[in-house]
Amino acid sequence: MAGNTLTRPQQLPFTPGRAARELGLKRNEFDLAVHLGHIRTVPDDGGGGHRVARSETERVRAADGFPEALLKRVRAVGTTEGAEVMDIPAGRFTRLARLGVVAPVRFYLNRYRAVVWLYLAEELEQFAADEQNTALLHARRMPEGMRALLDEGVDLRPRNWRTRHREFLLRSADGPWESAGALAAFL
């Protein structure tokens, strides 16, 4: 009887680390791709977080331009590199970021315990390519209202990051209680 039984190997989903290796991504690039919705995850049956289905890794690999297109979408840059992407001085980039014109996608504390904000290079390229923003990027002086806000010490980067992160948490919530928890986390 045992000879007549057909068994199929079970296709277990990948852990995040294994999925990142399968896709040729660094772990932080993989986490950002999940955060931005480029890679879908499924809940782990054992309660250990989220996993990536094998079909999802195959879908991502089958996309046009893989892996370069995916790497381009998740490329995060700091202030200096962001200024180079937008072809503006780093000081102007910092002022625009403080005013909330560009929103950070990540942050970390460096060895001096200073906050380093990271921005999506793709978003910065799109912002710089928009003709409506040319005056803001290349004018000799910032508009009067913006200069006044900067003189007051306004910094909207934390608020913009929290907004983006809250949207991610709400998107990844599996039910109404998790949605409520995501909103309550920011109170």
Strand partners, 50: 43
Tell me which residue of 118, 117, 121, 135 sits closest to 86, measured CA to CA.
Answer: 121
Could you report the per-residue pLDDT of 56-110, keeping only the tens digit for each?
Answer: 999 999 999 999 999 999 999 999 999 999 999 999 999 999 999 999 999 999 9
Helix (H, G, I), strand (E, B) or coil at 22: helix
Q: What are 2's two structure tokens?
A: 């045992």
Widest pairwise Cα distance in the chain: 85
Domains present along the chain, CATH in parentheses: 11-74 (1.10.1660.10), 76-163 (no CATH)
Could you report the per-residue pLDDT of 61-73, keeping only the tens digit for each?
Answer: 999 999 999 999 9
In the predicted model, is pLDDT for residue 17 greater than 60?
A: yes
Tell me which residue of 101, 138, 139 sits closest to 117, measured CA to CA.
Answer: 101
Could you report the per-residue pLDDT of 131-159, keeping only the tens digit for each?
Answer: 999 889 988 898 899 999 999 999 999 99
* pLDDT at residue 1, as a whole number: 52
